[in-house]
Structure 1
Amino acid sequence: MRVAAAAPGGHQRDDGRGHRVERPADLASAIDAAAETLIAVLDSAASRHQVPPTQLRVLMLISGRRETNVNGLAELLDVVPSSASRLCDRLEATGLLRRVADPRDRREVRLVPTPAALTLLRELAERRQRAVQAVLDRMPQRMQHDLLLSLLAFGRAATQTVPEQQTDQAVQTA
């Protein structure tokens, strides 16, 4: 049985396999630091592109939402429509975005990624996947499995609907 030394402010718990592990006093800070590291790995894979991160984000958003118009994009980005429109102007000028009339309502203009944009996003996703895999390859397989299970559990918990009454009680006890 492995035993972790207790850190100030932390506590030990059983990991379910008979091992005692240290839980950081501030788990949220540890997760935030890990998320920042992951973002750095993903960003390093994207750094080869000449497309700024904000424009890449726009392309990712509209590629998954075929019904997006400038107002919808502005809402997704939490910006004013004129800012979203200027972003679209720049993407259109570089050949990564087209504005097309909605066939159901010709007054509506939809934002559509071009084939070049879709190729760019596919290549970016592949590079990001390789960058993450390179880090995972440096981890023991058991840790990779534990990470996967933890991330799946985190994802499920993050998307669960919390009844309003429970949320109110949590706020009152905090």
Structure 2
Amino acid sequence: MERPPNLAEAIDAAAEALLGVLEGAASRHSVPVSPTQLRVLSLVSGRPDVNVNRLAELLDVVPSSASRLCDRLEATGLLRRVADPRDRREVRLVPTAAAEALLRELRERRHRAVQAVLDRMPARGQHELLLALLAFGQAAAMATTTAAGSESDPPARTA
């Protein structure tokens, strides 16, 4: 099957629309942190052994920028630094219960917003979208795995 010449443009437009729906779900309610801070909380929440240096790698920023982000989140009561029980010299980042509740609430709002858009699509279109997204995800994962083995690391940015 030949790819339509504007498929990449259509995907880009759909991604922009999806981002608009997701951002709209967050902005309609007062979220006490910036999008970057939300990303930090999300990354830390999904990785129980993350420290500031690893967080900096995940964000593609220098460690001092990641540390300042953590300072701000710690000051708001959304993040804690704790000693690693296996190595007391190592400091781990742990989201607080308030951070977990914030992430859960935001995730639920985003899911409802996306579902509202899906509800406006015919069932067949939803099924085709699901299959296409699964295939796209698999292809992207393969491309990421291949690229990770062949590229050098880009320079770190500041946040």
Shorter-normalised TM range: 0.7 to 0.9
Partner of 1:17: none
| Aligned partner (choices 132, 137, 143) of residue 114 of structure 2 | 132
Matched residue count: 145
Per-residue displacement from partner, 1:32-63 (whole Å, max 9, x unpaired)?
Answer: 11001101101111112121100000000000
Partner of 2:7: 27
Provide the rounded CA distance (Å) in 2 between the counterparts of 1:106 and 1:79.
25
2:26 matches 1:46: yes
| Aligned partner (choices 16, 22, 26) of residue 36 of structure 1 | 16
What code does the residue aligned with 1:39 have? L
Provide the rounded CA distance (Å) in 1 between the counterparts of 2:59 and 2:138.
24
| Aligned partner (choices 52, 62, 85) of residue 67 of structure 2 | 85
Unaligned 5+ residue runs, structure 2? 151-159
Provide the rounded CA distance (Å) in 2 between the counterparts of 1:33 and 1:90.
34
Q: Structure 1 125/163 Cα, relative in aligned 2: closer, same or farther at 3 Å?
A: closer
| Aligned partner (choices 103, 123, 141) of residue 121 of structure 1 | 103
More helix by share: 2
What code does the residue aligned with 1:58 have? V
Partner of 2:129: 147
Unaligned 5+ residue runs, structure 1? 1-12, 15-22, 168-174
Alignment of 1:87-102 (within 5 A): 87-102=69-84
Greater Cα radius of gyration, structure 1 or 2: 1
Partner of 1:19: none
Partner of 1:106: 88
**Aligned partner of residue 56 in structure 1, secondary structure:** helix
Partner of 2:47: 65
Provide the rounded CA distance (Å) in 2 between the counterparts of 1:118 and 1:103.
22
Partner of 1:4: none
TM-score, length basis structure 2: 0.86
Across the aligned residues of Structure 1 and Structure 2, the Cα RMSD in angstroms comes to: 1.9
Deviation (angstroms), 1:26: 2.3
Per-residue displacement from partner, 1:104-163 (whole Å, max 9, x unpaired)?
Answer: 111100000000000000001100000000000001111001100110111111112677
